[in-house]
Amino acid sequence: MNLISKDKEVAEKAKSMEQDNNHKKFGMLLGYPECCCDFFEENFSEKNADLTLKILENSNGCEFQYYNNIAARHFDISLLSHFPHDFHCEESTKIAKNNLKIIKKYSEEISSLFSSILQSAVIYTMKEGIFILRKYEKIGDRVIYGDILTTTRDKLYYLISSNKELTVMGKNRFLISDVEISGKEYGFMAFT
Protein backbone atom coordinates (compact mmCIF):
# COMPACT_ATOMS: atom_id res chain seq x y z
CA MET A 1 0.00 0.00 0.00
CA ASN A 2 1.21 3.50 -0.82
CA LEU A 3 0.33 6.57 1.21
CA ILE A 4 0.90 10.18 0.32
CA SER A 5 2.07 12.62 2.96
CA LYS A 6 4.17 15.75 3.21
CA ASP A 7 6.02 13.94 6.00
CA LYS A 8 7.60 10.54 5.26
CA GLU A 9 7.59 9.57 8.95
CA VAL A 10 3.84 10.25 9.23
CA ALA A 11 3.20 8.19 6.09
CA GLU A 12 5.22 5.28 7.52
CA LYS A 13 3.29 5.48 10.83
CA ALA A 14 -0.01 5.52 8.97
CA LYS A 15 1.01 2.55 6.85
CA SER A 16 2.06 0.59 9.92
CA MET A 17 -1.13 1.45 11.83
CA GLU A 18 -3.34 0.38 8.94
CA GLN A 19 -1.43 -2.89 8.45
CA ASP A 20 -1.78 -3.62 12.18
CA ASN A 21 -5.52 -2.75 12.10
CA ASN A 22 -4.92 -0.10 14.74
CA HIS A 23 -8.04 1.79 13.68
CA LYS A 24 -8.15 4.27 16.53
CA LYS A 25 -4.56 5.48 16.22
CA PHE A 26 -4.82 5.55 12.43
CA GLY A 27 -8.02 7.64 12.61
CA MET A 28 -6.48 10.00 15.15
CA LEU A 29 -3.40 10.42 12.92
CA LEU A 30 -5.76 11.36 10.05
CA GLY A 31 -7.41 13.99 12.25
CA TYR A 32 -10.73 12.26 12.86
CA PRO A 33 -12.55 12.99 16.16
CA GLU A 34 -11.61 10.67 19.01
CA CYS A 35 -15.27 9.81 19.67
CA CYS A 36 -15.60 8.64 16.06
CA CYS A 37 -12.33 6.68 16.20
CA ASP A 38 -13.56 4.89 19.34
CA PHE A 39 -16.89 4.15 17.64
CA PHE A 40 -15.15 2.77 14.55
CA GLU A 41 -12.78 0.60 16.55
CA GLU A 42 -15.66 -0.85 18.61
CA ASN A 43 -17.95 -1.56 15.65
CA PHE A 44 -15.95 -2.18 12.49
CA SER A 45 -15.18 -5.72 11.38
CA GLU A 46 -14.78 -7.66 8.16
CA LYS A 47 -18.45 -8.69 8.51
CA ASN A 48 -19.60 -5.17 9.46
CA ALA A 49 -17.78 -2.69 7.20
CA ASP A 50 -20.77 -0.35 6.68
CA LEU A 51 -21.61 1.37 9.95
CA THR A 52 -24.38 3.68 8.71
CA LEU A 53 -27.25 1.86 10.43
CA LYS A 54 -25.17 1.57 13.61
CA ILE A 55 -24.66 5.36 13.51
CA LEU A 56 -28.43 5.78 13.14
CA GLU A 57 -28.94 3.46 16.12
CA ASN A 58 -26.58 5.68 18.18
CA SER A 59 -28.35 8.89 17.10
CA ASN A 60 -31.39 10.44 18.74
CA GLY A 61 -34.29 10.84 16.33
CA CYS A 62 -34.11 10.61 12.55
CA GLU A 63 -33.61 14.29 11.57
CA PHE A 64 -30.07 15.63 11.29
CA GLN A 65 -27.93 18.41 9.81
CA TYR A 66 -26.85 17.48 6.32
CA TYR A 67 -23.13 17.95 6.98
CA ASN A 68 -22.85 14.48 8.56
CA ASN A 69 -24.85 12.71 5.81
CA ILE A 70 -22.55 9.84 4.88
CA ALA A 71 -25.27 7.81 3.14
CA ALA A 72 -24.66 9.73 -0.09
CA ARG A 73 -21.07 8.42 -0.21
CA HIS A 74 -22.51 5.55 -2.26
CA PHE A 75 -22.99 8.20 -4.96
CA ASP A 76 -19.49 9.67 -4.41
CA ILE A 77 -20.88 12.62 -2.44
CA SER A 78 -19.74 13.20 1.13
CA LEU A 79 -18.12 15.88 3.22
CA LEU A 80 -16.59 13.31 5.60
CA SER A 81 -14.09 10.56 4.99
CA HIS A 82 -14.89 8.84 8.29
CA PHE A 83 -17.96 7.40 10.02
CA PRO A 84 -19.23 9.86 12.67
CA HIS A 85 -20.13 8.17 15.95
CA ASP A 86 -23.62 9.63 15.59
CA PHE A 87 -25.30 11.96 13.13
CA HIS A 88 -25.22 14.83 15.67
CA CYS A 89 -21.42 14.65 16.21
CA GLU A 90 -20.29 18.28 16.50
CA GLU A 91 -16.63 17.53 15.77
CA SER A 92 -17.58 15.75 12.54
CA THR A 93 -19.85 18.67 11.63
CA LYS A 94 -16.89 21.06 12.02
CA ILE A 95 -14.79 18.92 9.68
CA ALA A 96 -17.63 18.68 7.14
CA LYS A 97 -18.29 22.45 7.20
CA ASN A 98 -14.60 23.11 6.62
CA ASN A 99 -14.50 20.62 3.74
CA LEU A 100 -17.55 22.27 2.14
CA LYS A 101 -15.87 25.66 2.51
CA ILE A 102 -12.80 24.33 0.67
CA ILE A 103 -14.94 22.83 -2.10
CA LYS A 104 -16.84 26.11 -2.44
CA LYS A 105 -13.56 28.04 -2.73
CA TYR A 106 -12.72 26.09 -5.88
CA SER A 107 -16.19 25.39 -7.29
CA GLU A 108 -19.51 27.00 -6.36
CA GLU A 109 -21.23 24.53 -8.69
CA ILE A 110 -19.85 21.40 -6.98
CA SER A 111 -20.48 22.92 -3.56
CA SER A 112 -24.13 23.55 -4.47
CA LEU A 113 -24.50 20.06 -5.92
CA PHE A 114 -23.09 18.46 -2.76
CA SER A 115 -25.31 20.58 -0.50
CA SER A 116 -28.48 19.87 -2.49
CA ILE A 117 -27.93 16.10 -2.57
CA LEU A 118 -26.84 15.89 1.06
CA GLN A 119 -30.03 17.75 2.09
CA SER A 120 -32.23 14.77 1.33
CA ALA A 121 -34.24 12.10 3.04
CA VAL A 122 -32.63 8.67 2.94
CA ILE A 123 -33.94 5.13 3.10
CA TYR A 124 -30.92 3.01 3.95
CA THR A 125 -30.87 -0.76 3.74
CA MET A 126 -28.12 -3.32 3.92
CA LYS A 127 -29.60 -5.68 1.32
CA GLU A 128 -32.06 -3.69 -0.81
CA GLY A 129 -30.00 -0.62 -1.63
CA ILE A 130 -29.73 3.01 -0.65
CA PHE A 131 -32.42 5.50 -1.70
CA ILE A 132 -31.83 9.25 -1.68
CA LEU A 133 -35.21 11.02 -1.72
CA ARG A 134 -34.49 14.44 -3.16
CA LYS A 135 -36.53 17.62 -2.89
CA TYR A 136 -38.42 16.30 0.09
CA GLU A 137 -40.75 18.03 2.51
CA LYS A 138 -41.52 16.66 5.96
CA ILE A 139 -44.95 17.52 7.35
CA GLY A 140 -45.38 15.88 10.74
CA ASP A 141 -44.71 12.19 10.16
CA ARG A 142 -45.37 12.42 6.39
CA VAL A 143 -42.52 12.80 3.89
CA ILE A 144 -43.31 13.94 0.36
CA TYR A 145 -40.43 13.57 -2.07
CA GLY A 146 -39.41 14.25 -5.68
CA ASP A 147 -36.78 12.36 -7.61
CA ILE A 148 -34.88 9.36 -6.28
CA LEU A 149 -31.23 8.37 -6.52
CA THR A 150 -30.73 4.66 -5.91
CA THR A 151 -28.02 2.04 -5.88
CA THR A 152 -30.46 -0.68 -7.05
CA ARG A 153 -33.71 -1.07 -8.92
CA ASP A 154 -35.48 -3.80 -7.02
CA LYS A 155 -38.92 -4.38 -5.48
CA LEU A 156 -38.39 -1.71 -2.81
CA TYR A 157 -37.25 0.81 -5.43
CA TYR A 158 -40.44 0.30 -7.44
CA LEU A 159 -42.55 0.72 -4.30
CA ILE A 160 -40.73 3.95 -3.40
CA SER A 161 -40.73 5.34 -6.94
CA SER A 162 -44.39 4.53 -7.66
CA ASN A 163 -45.36 6.63 -4.63
CA LYS A 164 -44.13 10.09 -3.77
CA GLU A 165 -45.01 9.96 -0.10
CA LEU A 166 -44.25 7.85 2.96
CA THR A 167 -45.11 7.93 6.64
CA VAL A 168 -42.30 7.73 9.20
CA MET A 169 -43.15 5.68 12.28
CA GLY A 170 -39.59 5.57 13.65
CA LYS A 171 -36.03 5.55 12.41
CA ASN A 172 -36.29 1.83 11.51
CA ARG A 173 -39.96 1.82 10.53
CA PHE A 174 -41.96 3.55 7.80
CA LEU A 175 -45.06 3.03 5.69
CA ILE A 176 -45.28 3.36 1.91
CA SER A 177 -48.73 2.92 0.35
CA ASP A 178 -49.97 0.76 3.26
CA VAL A 179 -46.84 -1.44 3.08
CA GLU A 180 -44.91 -1.38 6.35
CA ILE A 181 -41.12 -1.50 6.05
CA SER A 182 -39.46 -2.18 9.39
CA GLY A 183 -36.57 -3.84 11.12
CA LYS A 184 -32.98 -3.09 12.13
CA GLU A 185 -31.83 -3.70 8.53
CA TYR A 186 -33.77 -0.59 7.46
CA GLY A 187 -33.19 3.04 8.36
CA PHE A 188 -34.88 6.33 7.62
CA MET A 189 -32.95 9.61 7.95
CA ALA A 190 -33.87 13.16 7.02
CA PHE A 191 -31.00 15.60 6.50
CA THR A 192 -31.70 19.34 6.49
**Sheet with 130-133: strands ordered across:** 63-64, 186-191, 121-125, 130-133, 148-150
* pLDDT-based confidence at residue 12 (cuts at 50, 70, 90): confident
Q: What is the pLDDT of residues 82-130, one digit of tens each?
A: 999 999 999 999 999 999 999 999 999 999 999 999 999 999 999 999 9
Instruction: Write down the pTM of the prediction.
Output: 0.91
